Copies of this chain bind each other. A is one copy, B any other.
Amino acid sequence: MEPIILASSSPRRQETLKMLNIPYQVILSECDESFPDDMERSKVPEYVALNKLKAVVKSYTQDHEIPWILAADTMVLLDNELLGKPENYEEAVAYLQRLQGRTHQVITGLALFNGRLMYTASRSSVTNVTFAPMSAEEIDWYVGTGEWHGAAGGYRIQGLASCFISKIEGTNSNVVGLPISELYDMLKEQGYSFLE
């Protein structure tokens, strides 16, 4: 299989590519992650993923062949507000207090550059995640595990947060940060095949 440049430092995304046996290399470029104030919130992760992708594509000179490049951005959407990674313990507690006992959306934007065709494809994947009601003691215990570090919305579905997630509608991999069936579809559409 051809190598893919991953424009993301997320260890979870790297683990997913490893599981899929896709050879990859991480390349990061500085990128403005802001978005227009009036943008529909559900479109933001795809917009940010495209900007992350463009920053890496630009770093290649036109006289060499550009490889496959993949970027992704994951956010939590609740009450039309986007929750990113909490900055500290208190913010993680505040996020969990808001998420417990109800359903929110996790949106991952994917952007893929096809170096052969010089073509950019992108899409969004949405998963509804339902948290069981959590007591103050349970929130405190969960945030105390430290899983909130670097996690959109302050929780990891693949970790101890699974104790409190009663249901999802969509895919686990989307919530982890790299929706596998959408990635597979996108790569297949662009002529990159896993079936080797």
Contact = CB atoms under 8 A, between A and B. Distances in A.
Interface of A: 19-20, 132, 137-138, 141, 157, 159-160, 162-173, 180-181, 184-185, 194-195
A184 B169 contact: no
B181 A141 contact: no
B141 A163 contact: no
28 contacts: A19-B160, A20-B160, A20-B163, A132-B181, A132-B185, A157-B172, A162-B172, A162-B180, A162-B181, A163-B180, A163-B181, A163-B184, A163-B194, A164-B184, A165-B171, A165-B180, A165-B181, A166-B181, A167-B169, A167-B170, A167-B171, A168-B168, A168-B169, A168-B170, A168-B171, A168-B172, A169-B169, A172-B172
Contacts of A173: 162
- Work out how many copies of this chain go into the complex: 2
Given A167-B169, A168-B171, A195-B137, A19 B159 contact: yes
A120 B89 CA distance: 39
Given A19-B159, A159-B19, A172-B172, A181 B195 contact: no
A172 B163 CA distance: 12
